[in-house]
Structure 1
Amino acid sequence: MNLLAYPVYQAVADAMRPLRTSATLQRAVLAAWPEFAASPLGRSLDAAWELLEMAGLSHARPPFGIGSVEVEGEPVEIVEEVVRRTPFGSLLHFRKAVKTPQPRVLIVAPMSGHFATLLRGTVRTMLADHDVYITDWHNPRDIPLSAGRFGFQEYVEHVISFIRKIGPDSHLVAICQPTVASLAAVSLMAAADDPAQPASMTLMAGPIDCRVNPTKVNDLANSKPIEWFEKNLISVVPSGFKGAQRRVYPGFVQLTAFMSMNANRHATSFADMHYERAKGESAKADTIRTFYEEYFATTDLTAEFYLETVSQVFQQYLLPKGELMVGNRRVEPAAIRRTALLTIEGEKDDICAVGQTVAAQELCSRLRPYMKTHHVQTGVGHYGVFNGRKWESQIYPMVRSVIHDNEPRSVRMPASATSAGAEQLSLHAMLEAEAISKAAMASAAASSSSGAA
């Protein structure tokens, strides 16, 4: 365990705080002198101070900031409310008053160094047609040791608890890392014949089977034994925080690892922000800044959750090998028979490559074929699967269609909620119609043969 990493980082962050505060003040003074601020030199100084202002991380969750959404052509106010809270996470409900009941959906957010607000765009898109809940994980550095441990088992138990709180016939959408825990949760619920089993489960860009098309992330996880990760990457929360002395995988380490994978792209983004700000193109600079304000809001991971995930998911491949245990219960996806499955992958995903998520289709071997759907989205990387233009125009209509097709008839979405792309029959409906048609033809043929005889 690296006892110095976190304290040293915090000392550097504390030392940088006055410089960043000074840069903020300099920008404010400059803004109060509009004639100079609008000059080439003024814009250049403002751009430079902005880079210094952003030279640090935040460890507090940013707001979702979704005040309202349009539902059936009318703006509807969104009110955030916590409907279940534990020391490690909250079940957050985006409550809204609508005339027609909407499908209840739990979005399971990753616990991978960023807050659930990284999925703000995903939530905003889904809110128009769904009653949305999300797993809002807390920062371990703010959780006292007295709260106990939080490992892979506790993660799965939280997902099950949240699903039960939302109630039967809800839907689950898991993005990236939690696809494994979510599949495990639904498998255990199915094995126990839990009445709260979700009606559908969407797994997006997740490491269900990392043996398929290994990426740099997978190679890194297998480059060292798990003891190396514990010795070199695990640190303790320094004094001065509620979670002091808790063993964690620091968020700043995770962010550094992510950024190093695309260092040139990030450097270019900051250079572009400086250039656009100095040129006077504030809108373009603001877009880049908004992204990095969210990206630089980091959260730690408990040591047990991080090490168990690396070991069980990325090194031992326990789920696809049929060896994953949650407590004393074996995870058997074949137990799932009532929950429709949609898996989605991105063609250019360099974190969870094509083939890793679709592995869930084979694991859920007792699901009828018409209850399984898979989609590979061309032209998108990891984040493009759940954010951006292609998510909204091509991926989301499919997610919505699967949820709609598996809703109890009493709470089906109104026809007006479907887009032009979603108006076509889903694969589920097409296969079901085909099966009915074949059965009818077989029956007719049998009747004809009987009559001829």
Structure 2
Amino acid sequence: MRYMATYDLMETMRNTNQWLGATARTMASYPALALVPNPALQWAAAWGTVTERTFERMVVKPDWGIRTFTCADGQDHLIDINTVVEKDFGNLIHFDVTGREEMPRKILLVAPMSGHYATLLRSTVLSLIPDAEVYITDWHNARDIPVSAGSFDVEDYTLYLMDFMKHLGPDSHVIAVCQPAPLTLAATAYLAELEPDAQPRTLTLIGGPINPDAVPTDVTDFGARVTMGQLEETMIQRVGFSCKGVGRMVYPGLLQLASFMSMNAERHGKAFQDQILRVSRGEASDHDAHNRFYDEYLAVMDMPAEFYLSTVERIFKNCEIAKNEFVVKGHKVDMGAITKVAVKTVEGAKDDITAPGQCIAALDLCTGLPASKKASHVEPGAGHYGIFAGKSWRNNIRPLVLEFIDANASDAQADDGNVVPMNA
């Protein structure tokens, strides 16, 4: 599998299917054929429309689509998306509401590098903009990064997060969503050792696999039963000649997408069949529910091979974070070094990806943190997506997180000897 030809073959198949969709749509919509109305032609045009869009979206980075915001003055203010720290594998960007006074809350959202772009957190960003200055990690597609930029693994990821935190300063609040939660915890602990004055005020970990062995799921079971050699042989490929990162070893986005789709193949198949029927009947639109979801879901990015393999081996197999044995560039990071940053965990009661119990393990690792600076929340009835982007997030979790941030905005916090249940 580790060949450019394999990577190019997948891209060729994607490109061919996009072309077939465009061809079917164009031919079935030929004006002369309108003289002989035929349901089969309508269906063919609809199939082509859906197919072309589907395969085209797989290689397009979604736009943030966040352009204006209505402030307290009742006026619409433009939002400028500015890059404040630029790096080879990812940038730190800021959603700047023009004409609005700077908000006292400064929030860094740490987006996952797990196949989808940071735009997956678009609704999370939108929900926080009214109450805070929002920054987010915008990870790059590995296939667009030249080999000359070097490698990128979990240690490099951790150092990136430290740089972003240092840039924002000690008055910031960090929210890590899903996959980056363990590394964000490690970055905070390492920063506490090296530059304690640069630590953020609070750290909120949402649905992250701090201890994957705490409660097994299909994801953790997969990591346990597959060897690293099997993963490297079957999942890793070299970027083909059509991309800037030609020759870079990656876990291809198209291969990841195939895995995503296969997990719920029947549901996805029905969704596309229904969309084809809606298009043929003229009931679909460019921004209907199907397109809004799949335009984001289908947009996948390649991950650096080193990052993917080291995540599986060190976070899931060896549980280095859970055992407090994580090493960054030869230095063992001690989670007990966190003594000032208030830490909150959020889990979904029905999360089948990061089951309840995996994320709250972070609180036990923070042995140097007083109990008054620890908090946890389990959202009843919420799945994985809902705890950071659904109704559960908007209606219940977001207010609790903002309350936690405000309660720990200063250093003066007393230890009451108990973990604070923020959902009480």
What is the distance in 2 between the residues matched to 1:267 and 1:182? 36
Q: Structure 1 residue 280: deviation in Å?
A: 4.5
What is the distance in 2 between the residues matched to 1:309 and 1:434? 29
Aligned to 1:325: 327
Q: Structure 1 residue 69: deviation in Å?
A: 2.1
1:118-145 C-alpha deviation (Å, 9 max, x unpaired): 1111111111111001110111111111
What is the distance in 2 between the residues matched to 1:300 and 1:227? 20
Q: For 1:157, which of 148, 156, 159 is the aligned residue?
A: 159
1:12-67 C-alpha deviation (Å, 9 max, x unpaired): 1232232233355468878xx8x999x98786555323322234253232110101
2:111–2:121 contact (8 Å) kept in structure 1:
yes
**Relative to structure 1, is the Cα distance of residues 434 and 13 closer, same or farther in structure 2, using a 3 angstrom cutoff?**
closer
* Structure 1 unaligned regions, length at least 5: 410-427, 436-453
Moved over 4 A (4+): 23-30, 39-46, 428-435
Aligned to 1:69: 69
What is the distance in 1 between the residues matched to 2:110 and 2:320? 21
The 5 A counterparts of 1:88-103 are 88-96=89-97, 97-99=99-101, 101-103=103-105
1:162-198 C-alpha deviation (Å, 9 max, x unpaired): 1111122101111111001100100101122431101
Aligned to 1:225: 227
**Relative to structure 1, is the Cα distance of residues 28 and 43 closer, same or farther in structure 2, using a 3 angstrom cutoff?**
closer
1:184 partner amino acid: A
* Structure 2 unaligned regions, length at least 5: none
Q: Structure 1 residue 346: deviation in Å?
A: 1.2
1:198 partner amino acid: P
Q: Structure 1 residue 283: deviation in Å?
A: 5.9
Structure 2 length as normaliser, TM-score?
Answer: 0.90
Q: For 2:341, which of 332, 339, 342 is the aligned residue?
A: 339
Aligned to 2:11: 10
Q: Structure 1 residue 264: deviation in Å?
A: 2.2
What is the distance in 1 between the residues matched to 2:415 and 2:24? 59
Per the alignment, in what secondary structure is the counterpart of residue 197 of structure 2?
Answer: coil
Aligned to 1:108: 110
Aligned to 1:359: 361
Q: Structure 1 residue 328: deviation in Å?
A: 1.4
**Larger gyration radius, structure 1 or structure 2:** 1
The 5 A counterparts of 1:8-407 are 8-23=9-24, 25=26, 44=43, 46-56=45-55, 57-72=57-72, 74=74, 75-96=76-97, 97-99=99-101, 101-282=103-284, 286-407=288-409
1:208–1:359 contact (8 Å) kept in structure 2:
yes
1:276–1:284 contact (8 Å) kept in structure 2:
no
What is the distance in 1 between the residues matched to 2:414 and 2:390? 27
2:319 partner amino acid: Y
What is the distance in 1 between the residues matched to 2:376 and 2:54? 41
Q: Structure 1 residue 256: deviation in Å?
A: 1.6
1:43–1:280 contact (8 Å) kept in structure 2:
no
2:373–2:419 contact (8 Å) kept in structure 1:
no
**Relative to structure 1, is the Cα distance of residues 121 and 73 closer, same or farther in structure 2, using a 3 angstrom cutoff?**
farther
**Relative to structure 1, is the Cα distance of residues 312 and 430 closer, same or farther in structure 2, using a 3 angstrom cutoff?**
closer
1:78 partner amino acid: I
What is the distance in 1 between the residues matched to 2:419 and 2:333? 33
Per the alignment, in what secondary structure is the counterpart of residue 389 of structure 2?
Answer: coil
Q: Structure 1 residue 103: deviation in Å?
A: 0.9
2:67 partner amino acid: G
1:247 partner amino acid: M
Structure 1 window deviating more from structure 2 (82-91 vs 283-292): it is 283-292
1:63–1:117 contact (8 Å) kept in structure 2:
yes
1:295-320 C-alpha deviation (Å, 9 max, x unpaired): 11110010110100000011111111
Q: CA RMSD in A?
A: 2.8
Per the alignment, in what secondary structure is the counterpart of residue 270 of structure 1?
Answer: helix
Q: Structure 1 residue 285: deviation in Å?
A: 7.7
**Relative to structure 1, is the Cα distance of residues 360 and 27 closer, same or farther in structure 2, using a 3 angstrom cutoff?**
farther
2:125–2:134 contact (8 Å) kept in structure 1:
yes
1:187–1:336 contact (8 Å) kept in structure 2:
yes
Structure 1 length as normaliser, TM-score?
Answer: 0.84
Per the alignment, in what secondary structure is the counterpart of residue 155 of structure 1?
Answer: helix
Aligned to 1:422: none
Aligned to 1:450: none
1:142–1:243 contact (8 Å) kept in structure 2:
yes
Identity of aligned residues (%): 37
Per the alignment, in what secondary structure is the counterpart of residue 203 of structure 1?
Answer: strand
Q: Structure 1 residue 218: deviation in Å?
A: 0.9
1:60 partner amino acid: V
1:238-279 C-alpha deviation (Å, 9 max, x unpaired): 112110000001111112212222222222322332344445
What is the distance in 2 between the residues matched to 1:29 and 1:217? 47
Q: Structure 1 residue 322: deviation in Å?
A: 1.7
1:185 partner amino acid: A
1:88-141 C-alpha deviation (Å, 9 max, x unpaired): 111111111323533111111111111111111111111111100111011111
**Relative to structure 1, is the Cα distance of residues 311 and 22 closer, same or farther in structure 2, using a 3 angstrom cutoff?**
same
